[in-house]
Amino acid sequence: MEQSAPNPLLSVATYVSVRAVLPPRLCACELMFGHLRKLDRILWREDECEAAGAAARRPLSIANLPEEILSEILLLLPLKSILHCHAVCKAWRAITSDHAFLLAHHRRQPPRRLLTFVRNVGSGDDDLDVLDYCVKAFDFRTHEFQSVARFTVKDYDCTLGDNPFNLHASCDGLLLMSYNNYLHLCNPTTRIAHGRSWSSSPGDDSSGTGRATGSGWVEVRLITNDIYRLITCKLEHEALYHTNTLGCDLSAYLGLGIVADESPSSTQETTCSNNNTLFAAAAKAAKHPQHTMGPSAEAALVRHAADLLVTLLRLRRDALPLPPCLFA
Amino acid sequence: MAAATDDAGDSNEMIRVVSSDGEHFEMPEAAANLSLVLRHMIEDDCADAAGIPLAVVAAKPLAKIVDYCTKHAAKSSGLTIEEAEELKRFDAEFIEVDTDMLYDLLVAADFMGVEGLSKLAVQRTADLIKGKTPEQNRETFGIVNDFTPEEEEEICKENEWAFQITKPPSRLC
């Protein structure tokens, strides 16, 4: 054996000195350094436990796993469990609230068909002041329903009609809904929801992420998972929404949905495309005349949706490299 | 010792490893190759009669890992459906361990770079977490609740699993 090329992982005791003399000629050198760093962390954790005092000392357990392993584990959990993990301890909360973690978690989710259910919680006619909406997704692989979000409306005004709630679109897990001229965009995983009235004057925000393209078409550009998405909607009595991926052939629609479910308080269906991460959704305009959106309202709605998406995804607007030619 | 030749392709050589608490284990080279760290050390001729010392892996998990690698190395290529089924059954039984051992396996498999075992242990842990309330999870894994009562109340509110739609400030139409 030529000049004792020692195994760099001799023992915990000699770890520090070994690190200093680690022979650089080792081919696996880089790998070893990686593992020394891991060792570093594990030892550090042990020290930390000892420092906590003998009384509070507990065996190393899942709870103090290195963060990478822990987040690998939590990534495999369904949405509801992630929410439960928020409440376990600070460390778990930090991991499951992390933006990168949520994106990674989202990418693992299979495409699902979204369904909206409306159910009245009240038992009789006079008791109808609470309304409960449930958005569920259907997993094609497991043939199971999964709750995505639930909305409860207090002080529900019966005179407003029987379908004041609409699920308009869903893109990469974000849901765009409206209720009583009030637009809600929420991220069920982070539980952040934004609401905004679409009747506010269009000039109040200089965003310009949406534009009318003539003949009633409105476009919105979204950036999710670093991919441009385009949502277009056709106005008039029924709204059509298309989603598309920007940056590739714009004429190739990935999804198109039209739903004209006229049954009163019922399931409203949305369609999803076959694309792995992309959902296209469609919704009909509300049945009642007072809820039918005019073109300007619709345009404002879509414009706000883009704004809200920017907020939800915590992107800086000027960081969005939108092609200027697409703006009016 | 048998000078490690470059073409270590079909060698039946046994690789010796030493746990952090000084116990020796032996496994075929093919099994050792399932660990990224061991493979690199073998390639670098670091494997000798004294054995490769694994500083953070204790004897108990190491015995399991040697078991796992030996089983998987023996059935690495050209699996029939039956053999694949058997390997699956072996995995399922193998990972039926208590949380302390599971922790040891997670750390050790990650440290040694045994990918299959890492995945198995990670999936098992996720299965244990799934469907439990926060309190049950704390109990299972011995986690201390480090939230203040106020924080907890806030989180409780968050977890009501429903967004409250407030009355819109101005109703148009």
CB B56 within 8 A of CB B20: yes
* Contact residues for A323 (Cβ-Cβ < 8 A; gap 6+): none
C-alpha to C-alpha distance for A202 and A303, rounded to whole angstroms: 8
Within a domain: residue A24?
Answer: no
Contact A29, A7 (CB under 8 A): no
CA-to-CA distance for B107 and B120, rounded, in angstroms?
13
Tally the domains of chain B. 1
Domain that holds residue B86: 14-71+81-143
Would residue A150 count as lying in a domain?
yes
What CATH number is attached to the domain comprising B88?
Answer: 3.30.710.10
Q: Based on the structure, what is the number of domains in chain A? A: 3
How is B94-108 classified by DSSP, letter by letter? HT---HHHHHHHHHH
Residues A215, A90 share a domain:
no
A310 shares a domain with A281:
yes
Cα–Cα distance between B129 and A129 in angstroms, integer? Answer: 38
Dist CA B48 CA B41 (whole Å):
10
In this predicted model, what pLDDT tens digit does every residue of B72-95 receive, in sequence order? 988 766 778 888 889 999 999 999
Whether the CB-CB separation of A228 and A234 falls below 8 Å is answered with: no
The answer to whether residue B26 is domain-embedded is yes
The helix (run of H) or strand (run of E) holding residue A301 is helix A295-312
pLDDT (average), residues B53-65: 90
Is residue A230 assigned to a domain? yes
The answer to whether the pTM exceeds 0.80 is no
Best residue in B62, B119, B165, B172 for a mutation probing chain A (most A CBs within 10 Å): B165
- Is A1 inside any structural domain? no
Place of tokens 């099994």: B31
Do A241 and A282 contact (CB within 8 A), yes or no? yes
Q: Nearest CA to CA, how far is B78 from chain A (Å)?
A: 28
Say which residues have a Cβ less than 8 Å from residue A234's Cβ, sequence separation at least 6.
A216, A217, A240
Confidence of residue A103 (pLDDT cuts 50, 70, 90): confident
What is the span of the domain harbouring residue A275? 111-326
pLDDT given at position A1:
39
Cβ–Cβ below 8 Å for A181 and B132 = no
Q: A73 and A47 in one domain?
A: no
Residue in chain A closest to B172 (alpha carbons) equals A181
A73 neighbourhood in chain B, CB within 8 Å: 122, 125-126, 129
Structure tokens at A198: 């679409």
Residue B57 covered by a domain: yes
Of the candidates B37, B145, B165, the beta carbon closest to that of A151 is on B165
User: Which residue from A72, A88, A181 is facing B122, i.e. has the nearest CB?
Assistant: A72
CA B58 to chain A, closest CA, distance in angstroms equals 12
Q: What is the mean pLDDT of chain B?
A: 81
Packed helices B99-112 and B36-43: angle between N→C axes, nearest 10 degrees? 40
Q: Count of CB contacts below 8 A, A vs B?
A: 176
One domain, residues A46 and A165: no
Per residue in A144-188, pLDDT tens? 666 777 766 665 555 555 446 666 666 555 666 666 656 666 666
Q: Quote ipTM for the complex.
A: 0.80
